[in-house]
Amino acid sequence: MDQRRDQYLEAMGITRWVPRRAAGESGAPISNGEDAIPDLDWEALRHRVSACRLCGLHEGRTQAVFGVGNPAADWMIIGEAPGAEEDRVGEPFVGRAGQLLDAMLEGLGLSRRSVYIANVLKCRPPNNRDPAAEEASQCAPYLQRQITLVAPRVILAVGRVAAQNLLGAEGTLGRMRGRIHHYGAQEIPLVVTYHPAYLLRRPAEKAKTWRDLLLAAQVVSGNST
């Protein structure tokens, strides 16, 4: 197991890791009479997302990409939007970026089945462009309900777009990462880091990402200050 973890850390560009121990609205409603999104359980929420027509993105999708993982996870990882492969498969973070995310998680002793992974948008924007404000606004109640249902101990916002939408901020990713933010009325701790697709282009930033992951792990373990 240790050898396998070392292999994942090597993929992240990390040569050694010592684990830390825990110290103690355009668009009409889908139909009349449907339950409000904050009242939906997982099955009803998934159905609502799969049938959503609230913005124009539904016209070009293969399928909505709902989310994947443990619905009661300590970690919730939130990215920007599905890409072409995610739209085809119906699962967030697949392909090369997804493989790197898996390596990042494995380095912490986690997996995509032990965390919960979702996106700000549930449908792929054309040509993988950034989400438009109105698209993110229409999808926001779905993501908010997912966060409420998971009730994670930490949210990892992956990439600038995810971080800006979750925090309601316009800052650069570099200014947002490296510290603990809080999300929503529940004040869920939130840590910002680079998107795996960015790390594939800029592997030198992997060390910074690893520090972000360790910060999030400290939150979960209760060691954060």
Domain assignment present for residue 200? The answer is yes
Helix axes 95-107, 2-11, angle to 10 degrees: 130
Domain assignment present for residue 176? The answer is yes
Instruction: Name the amino acid, one letter, at 161.
Output: V
Q: Residue 112's domain spans which residues?
A: 2-15+38-221
Domain assignment present for residue 26? The answer is no
What domain count does the chain have?
A: 1
Q: At 186, is the secondary structure helix, strand, or coil?
A: coil
Give Cβ neighbours of residue 111 (< 8 Å, ≥ 6 apart).
102, 105
Burial class (CB in 10 A: 0-12, 13-18, 19+), 222: exposed
Distance CA 140, CA 26 (A): 13
Helix (H) or strand (E) holding 131: none
Domain assignment present for residue 69? The answer is yes
Query: pTM to 2 decimals?
Result: 0.84
Confidence of residue 128 (pLDDT cuts 50, 70, 90): confident
The overall average pLDDT reported for the chain is 87
pLDDT in tens, 181-212: 999 999 999 999 999 999 999 999 999 999 99
Who wins on pLDDT, 45 or 171? 45
Helix (H) or strand (E) holding 111: none
19: pLDDT strictly greater than 60: no
pLDDT in tens, 155-167: 999 999 999 999 9
Domain assignment present for residue 138? The answer is yes
Residue with tokens 């399928």: 63
Domain assignment present for residue 124? The answer is yes
Cβ 142 vs Cβ 64: under 8 Å: no
What is the token pair recorded at 121? 């948008």
Distance CA 196, CA 198 (A): 5
Domain assignment present for residue 52? The answer is yes
pLDDT in tens, 48-87: 999 999 999 999 999 999 999 999 999 999 999 999 999 9
9: pLDDT strictly greater than 80: no
CATH code at 201?
3.40.470.10
Residue 223: per-residue pLDDT: 78
Q: Which residues share a beta bridge with 79? A: 119
Q: Which residues share a beta bridge with 118? A: 78
Domain assignment present for residue 30? The answer is no
28: pLDDT strictly greater than 70: no
